[in-house]
Structures are given as structure tokens and as C-alpha cells.
A and B are shown apart, each in its own frame.
Chain A
């Protein structure tokens, strides 16, 4: 257990350094087309006794691909990849199962499918789920396939490490996750704050929200996600960045999850202030998919402050590019001391091959086809994420977009969530704990103490500590 944790800790630190170097590579225009033609020269590294994929030749059969998409950016690229595979291999058919449902619902549905043995070949879910999917034996390690794929060199070491677990690589990411503190310049100006507002520290967010509240009853000051309704955003867009801002950590050096701590108490007090003073609307904990309304409101000026995914900007820009550029500002997350601001990074949604797939080679051909530099560049330009493969940053649609260049640069200041199989359970404990404080059921100190119990329920008492 300790070993794994140390691995995680050091990997996280490594990620930050390596992402930064990856960005440098990304900004180097000569990186495209620099792939050396040494195909076949690299032998599969872990092939002893394992199934070494055939190097081309006759591939046939049907590939079943299942993926969720509510926003509608992906289907045309998935279709394009399917068509490419079908035209390259006449014996291969690709059946696409597009699920127009939310990621959480998709995941539950997928798990029931995997559990029942009715297994698709290619799946598309969050990279943070690698640990628990791998532990369950649902997904196939890709190392043997990657050994024969030149393009894998285009993925910075940090990105590669972000999708590895227990020494193996399990998924191919297309776009990385990062988050911004978005603010409405027009709303803040009405509240007497400058258009180029910059909070001195984390308290500055609440101060700005209070200023907005005191000036204009028509604008929601701030959306701080809480509770199960906020989905993983309750952790990644609210609790976790706040915990880090107050100098806290999710895990201690021995890998135990930290419940109550001085930082946890400060986060709970922050929540108590945001909800107790009416800066954040209580509907966040009762509405279904509250982020839909919050994103829409920030886009049209009905909400002044929101820490959210970088990809959200795409919806606003698509609706009205000029107004968005004029009114929506984006910043890194401030800290308690006013020290270096940061963003929360993650591997984003990834492509996986299932362990029980009967047609892994053909499935791999599809995964490669949907992750070409062209598709990755264009898809991320539409559905804005920093690209996972560096050569995709040279796709015109991507590099001509200032917002995307800024987002990619922000990854230099990213802290990454932990690829632990327990993290999804910890997210649920965070949802329970933040719901309580947001609903006003407990004081900040009691809510922090109770968070220890929530964690114990989620991951087991032996894996939890408090400071």
C-alpha cells in the first residue's frame, strides 16, 4: 500500500514538471512530422508469455464502441475514425453505440454491462477511473500495442503517466482536463470591482461574491458546488481546489486519506460562509445537474463567479464568441496565503479496450484512428481542452485559438487529482460532507469531524486518518 502511494506522490510531482516540458514541445512547430520511420524496431517490452499483437495483416471482425456524449462534439469524429478503419480493413466492421446521457449514468450502465459479461470492445470514460477499472479486471493494458505505435512518442511523459497504474498503461487520452476560476467582468464592474479583477487570496473570491450580492439582487454571486447533485465537480471544481488552497492534502505521506484537519475545517468554514451568507444558491444541492444552470448563467451574466472545467468555455464561445471574450475572464485558483495560484489537472476522458474484448487488435485500430493528430486537434478546438498529444497542438484550428493556448499554458501550474482506485469513493464522501455543510446541518468544525466518518464509510476505517 505504501509503495503504491509513494509511487503516486512522486508521479504527481513528476507530472507537474513533465507537463511543463510537454507544453514546450507543444509550442515547437517542428514537432509535427518528426516521427521517425523506425516501426517494428521496438519490440514489445512486456511480451513474455503475453499476447503480442500481430503486426498488421488480416484484421477482421466487428468492433463495438460505446461512448457518452451530451454535447454533440464527438460523433462526427468517431464516425470519421470508424470509416477510416473500415476502409483500411475490409473485414472490419465498427458498430457505434452513442449514448446521449450524462457521464455518471453512462458509467453505471457500463459497469452493469461489464459485470453481466455483455462486453463492448472499446469504451470511453474518465481517466480517473483507471484504478478501479483495472482492479476489477475490466480493462486491457495497452503496453504491447503502444510498443508498435510510433505516435505514442507524441504524448508527453506526464500524460503517459497520467494514464498508467501499477506500472502499465491502460487508456489513451485525447484532451486533458484543467479548470478556471471564471468571472463576469460586467457583473464585477457593477459591484465596483475592476474588470481585470484578481483576488489577492482565496478569501478574495468570497469578498467579490459579497460585493456582487450587496449591489445587484438579480445576479447570483457565486456557484460553489456541493453535494451529490454536483457530481465529481463537487470534488474537482470545489472541495479539492479549496483544500489545496488552504494548504491541505487529500492523502498523507503513508497514503491514508485525510479526514478532519486544520485545512478541512477552513474549507468547511468557507462553505458555511458561501452558503450561510447566501453567496451560493442552495439550489445547487437540490437541483438535478445544477451545473447546467450555473454554466448557462455565467454565460449570460446571471452568475458572477464560478470555478469550472476549461471545456465549459466552448459552450459560451459557440453561443457568442465576441460577448464571451469581452465579458468572461478566467483565472487560476488563488491560495490562502496569496502564494502561487494553480489549476486542477486530470487526464480527461479516455479511450479504453476492454479485457474481455474478443477483437482487441481491431479495437486497437479504432482507438488509433480516433486519436490521430488531426482528430485530437480539431476535437479539442471544438470541445476546448489542452491536447493530449503534442503534435495536435499544431492543427490550425487549435493553435489559432488564444483561449486554448492559455489553457495549455495553465497546465504548467496544474496539480493533479490522484489516480487511486479509492478516489471515486472519496469523491462520494466529499459529496456527502459538503451537502451537510451547505444545507446548514452542522457547524464547520463538526462538518469537518463528520467528514472523517464519511471517509471511513467510503474506503474503510484503516485507510483514513485525521490531523
Chain B
């Protein structure tokens, strides 16, 4: 009796030992800062000025201020547009499309497959800030490749960041992030056994039916996870936008993460910046719950 009870306990201890490095790192780099941000959001902590010398507890003042902030609605709307445009439509759909094409090409042993694969991966392995500067070099008004190219054929220059700032940052982010979803989907596609498709073909299903009836259902669990991680990563991203437009012109590309950064490190209001970060964290948790429910319900 006792022996059979001790065995799972010993096994649990092993699990715990195996999990603890990850748990420790998560606590150190995620839970710790999150708690710090939550505590800071109830204070008037600042990097400079009288509030830096005497930080004090201000209750919900920062939250009241945030929800009365006339710019906050615009920032949220920008974030939604940016996430839908670059994560859901761009990275997710384009990534899936690319994965299907590459999978198709691979199964048939096309020559250029690995070249395409490498080209997409190259965009992804760059550090974000480098990707940002690459696109600045592309869009820059005076010396950008696009305007210089247009100049050679007697057109332009076009003020890309002025006339379509959100579209510009979305394009850059799609370019940068598509490889991730493509890789995941490609991996998932490879796990689908070919005989399913052969059986379907024998049954007379066309390409669309094969995709709709077999490929898509088998991708669904992985699709939910990918959508979740892409959405959350995009929602929290700001380095790329910072390099491209820094939120401008006016606040036309200011997304929530960038707004938190600007409040904390440009206005030096750490307490207020933390408040925005906490709201962001809550929204991300909301996304996670919705997506996970969705993937479980369908799986």
C-alpha cells in the first residue's frame, strides 16, 4: 500500500526537479517583473522630478488617469489594427499559404524550394532592430530605396510614413514575422501522412476538398497555438515600430506597448507606464484564455 503510494510521489519529485529550472527562469524574468509592474502601477514612481525622490502609493489614480486619457482609445485601436493586419491577416494567413506552397513543392522535389525557404528564414533570423533599419532604408523619404528607385523613373518621392504609416509598419512586420508561422505549419504539414491524401484522391476529392476536409482539421490545434503566440507577440511588439515611425506621425502608429514605453522612458513616468503594461498583460491573458478554450473545444 505504502509502496504503491510512494512511487508516484517519487515520480512527482522527479517532475518537480525537471520543471524547476524553467519555473525559476519564468519566476525571475516574467512573474517577478509582472508583480513589480503591478505594484508600480499603484504608485507615482518616476525616473526624475519630485516623484522620483518621494514615490508614494496613489491607489487607482493611474488607472483612472489611463481610462480618462483621450489618447488611450486611439492607441488601443491602433494595436487592434496592427494585430489584425500584421498577425492575423499577414503572418498567419501568409505563413499558412507559404507553408502549403513549400510543402507542395517539397513533396514534388522542386529545385528552388530550399532557396525560397532560405529567403523567408533570412527575414526572420535578423534581430528586430536590424529588420527595422532595413525597412527604414527602404521607406526613408530622402535616401530610401523606394524613393530613389521612383526617382530614377521620374516619379515620387512619396512620403511613405506620412501617407500610410500603419500600412508601412504592417508590411514590415509581416515580412519579418511570416517565417515563424510558416515554419510551424510546415512542421505540422509534414506530420500528415500522405496516404490520407491518396485515399481522398481515389475518392475523387479535388485539391480544395482535400485541404478543407483533411489538411485544415489536422492543423487546427497547432493553428490555435500559432495564432495565440503570433497575436501575443505582435500585441507586445514595439521595437520594429519604434525604429520605423516611433509611433508617429502624431499617434497614428502608436501601439500599446510603445505607449507604455514612451510613458515610462520618455515621459519618465514609470508608475503610469507600468499601469499601461498591466492593462496589456490583462488583455494578453484574455487572448490566451479565449484561444486555448477555442482550440480545446474544437480539438
Contacts and interface: CB of A to CB of B under 8 A. Distances in A.
Interface of A: 104, 108, 111-112, 115, 129, 131-133, 135-138, 227-229, 281-283, 285-288, 293, 421, 424-425, 428, 432, 435-436, 438-439, 441, 450, 453, 457-458
Interface stretch (B112-120, B173-181, B244-252): B244-252
A285 B162 contact: yes
Contacts of A115: 47, 52
Nearest 3 pairs of A and B residues by beta carbon:
A136-B52, A286-B161, A282-B162
Given A228-B266, A283-B159, A293-B142, A138 B248 contact: no
Contacts of A135: 48-50, 52-53
A337 B246 CA distance: 38
A131 B49 CA distance: 7
Contacts, number: 100
A286 B165 contact: yes
Nearest to A136: B52
Interface string B67-110: 00111000000000000000000000000000000000000000
Interface residues of B, number: 32
B266 A428 contact: yes
B101 to A, nearest CB: 35
Contact of B249 (A108, A111, A138, A286): A286
B210 interface: no
Contacts of B247: 228
Given A281-B159, A286-B245, A435-B248, 11 more contacts: A115-B47, A132-B49, A135-B53, A136-B50, A137-B53, A227-B248, A228-B247, A285-B248, A286-B159, A286-B248, A458-B267
B141 interface: yes
Interface in B223-276: 245-252, 262, 265-268
Interface in B1-53: 46-50, 52-53
Nearest to A135: B50
5 contacts: A111-B47, A133-B48, A286-B162, A286-B248, A428-B267
A438 B249 contact: yes
B244 to A, nearest CB: 9
B250 A288 contact: no
A291 to B, nearest CB: 13
Contacts of A293: 142
A425 B262 CA distance: 12
Nearest to B160: A286
B292 to A, nearest CB: 36
A111 B264 CA distance: 11
A115 to B, nearest CB: 6
Contacts of A432: 71, 250-251
Contact of B250 (A129, A131, A285): A285
Contact of B252 (A132, A137, A439): A439
B246 A229 contact: yes
Interface of B: 46-50, 52-53, 65, 69-71, 136, 140-142, 159, 161-162, 165, 245-252, 262, 265-268
A457 B69 contact: yes
Nearest to A137: B53
B268 A111 contact: yes
A432 B263 CA distance: 13
A441 B252 CA distance: 10
B50 A288 contact: no
A452 to B, nearest CB: 11
A436 B249 CA distance: 8
A430 to B, nearest CB: 13
Contacts of A111: 47-48, 268
A136 B45 CA distance: 11
Contacts of A287: 140-141, 161
B50 A227 contact: no
A316 B250 CA distance: 31
A136 B49 contact: yes
A161 to B, nearest CB: 21
Contacts of B267: 425, 428, 458
A288 B246 contact: yes
Nearest to A442: B250
Nearest to A288: B246
Nearest to B45: A115
Contacts of B266: 104, 108, 228, 428
Nearest to A112: B47
A136 B70 CA distance: 28
Nearest to B268: A111
Contacts of A133: 48
A111 B265 CA distance: 9
Contacts of B46: 136
Contacts of A229: 246, 248
Contacts of A282: 159, 162, 249
Contacts of B70: 450, 453, 457
A106 to B, nearest CB: 13
A101 to B, nearest CB: 14
A441 B141 contact: no
Contacts of A438: 249-250
A281 B158 CA distance: 12
Contacts of B165: 286
A288 B273 CA distance: 23
Contacts of B48: 111, 129, 132-133, 135-136, 138, 424
Contacts of A425: 267
A136 B262 CA distance: 20
A422 to B, nearest CB: 8
A22 B113 CA distance: 75
Contacts of B136: 288
